[in-house]
Structure 1
Amino acid sequence: MSKARLEHFNLTVLDPDATAALLVQLFDWRIRWSGASIHDGYTVHVGDEDSYIVLYSQPRANAPGVPTYDRHLALNHLGVEVDDLDRAAERVVEAGLETYHHQDYEPGRRFYFRTGDGLEIEVVSYGK
């Protein structure tokens, strides 16, 4: 078997366009595709050349407010690696969002923030 890599994951959000726009703004990603999808839904693919996130919404999507760690098969947070953690934190604050849980740990540094949809994102730098 050849080496496996993560190509994408699919996440239900309330507003795929807004979440994608934020991720483009913060991480210099791009919209790879958007359009109608399964179960009368709408999908936006956002990422880079190697991997992406599918942001999906449909009329029966879960309402916000239930903590992810309390739901079966829920996504607890998305981890994004960056080269410059301080600049990434500045960009998050410039976007009007609050950063928290700033930590130096072995082997790197990290902080967290939540999107307008409530998606928690961990931003990490390993100082390569």
Structure 2
Amino acid sequence: MEPKAAIDAFAALAQETRLSVFRLLVQAGPNGLTAGDVAARIGVPASTLSHHLGLLERAGLLRSWRVQRQIFYATDYEGTRRLLAFLMEDCCQGLPELCGTGIAEAIDCCPKPTVDA
């Protein structure tokens, strides 16, 4: 991951609503939630949420797809994995085992999507 892409991803997460949306969608898993479900659970108006979802998607942290009249959003696990790997690529002088077992596992934690985008 290029530093600019990492900066964009961190900037997208550096806002309370977007961070809440991202965490909710991480918890929701690869099948994601509809935009309406996200709005109801986070408690923000749909128009406001649309802006936040778009920013997270442009930052490579979410993906979206349409099913009939609904738009679903889910974590882009590959983008999230790249961001985590970017953070940890030089961890502990190239010896990630020094950082503890959680580092390598965090980078490989993300499930593969089961729904075609």
Same fold per superposition (TM over 0.5):
no
- Normalized per residue, which structure has more helix? 2
- Normalized per residue, which structure has more strand? 1
Greater RCO (Cα-Cα under 8 Å, separation 6 or more): 2
